[in-house]
């Protein structure tokens, strides 16, 4: 299952639709940081697509953005090696390297997602290369 962490409902629906219809993935979406931490520990997550600018997301009452939430996911046993793909509308020169380094994420995609098939293929490649494949689905 791919976990989508996005606080804009329209973007969450778009990403979920792309991943389910074009990629055949099971998808769960939330913007609740406590839910993210619980889901990573208790569910069969194969990848996370994480918005960088989470406006109202909290973990244990503390406000977090996608960079901090990715760091916290990375600090868990089950989240340490999950593929995390960051999404951001703030795509300026140098952002990619800074965001990947500061968060520990695997990749970065600028919004709006122009190449929808390329985005789905990117998620699939990261899942395949991580070795964290869903037991009920293979990726060709």
Class of 31-130 in CATH: alpha beta
Give the CA distances from residue 61 to residues 33, 55, 111, in Å, rounded to whole numbers and listed in that order: 9, 13, 28
* pTM score of the predicted model: 0.88
Residue 93: its pLDDT value, please?
A: 62
pLDDT tens sequence across 101-135: 667 789 989 889 999 999 999 999 999 998 876 43
Minimal CA–CA distance to 134: which of 12, 23, 54, 5? Answer: 23
pLDDT tens sequence across 60-103: 999 999 999 999 999 999 999 999 999 988 765 656 666 766 67
What is the residue extent of each domain of the chain? 31-130
What is the band of 36 on the pLDDT scale with cuts at 50, 70, 90? very high
């Amino acid at each position: 299952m791919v976990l989508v962490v996005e606080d804009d409902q329209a973007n969450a629906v778009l990403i979920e639709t792309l991943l389910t219809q074009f990629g055949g993935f099971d998808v769960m979406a939330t913007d609740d940081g406590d839910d993210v931490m619980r889901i990573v520990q208790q569910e069969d997550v194969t990848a996370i697509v994480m918005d960088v600018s989470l406006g109202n997301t909290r973990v244990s009452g503390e406000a977090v953005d996608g960079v901090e939430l990715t760091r916290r996911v990375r600090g868990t046993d089950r989240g340490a090696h999950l593929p995390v793909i960051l999404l951001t509308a703030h795509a300026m020169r140098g952002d990619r390297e800074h965001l990947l380094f500061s968060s520990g994420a695997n990749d970065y995609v600028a919004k709006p997602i122009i190449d929808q098939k390329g985005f789905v293929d990117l998620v699939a490649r990261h899942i395949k290369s991580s070795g964290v494949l869903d037991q009920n689905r293979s990726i060709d």
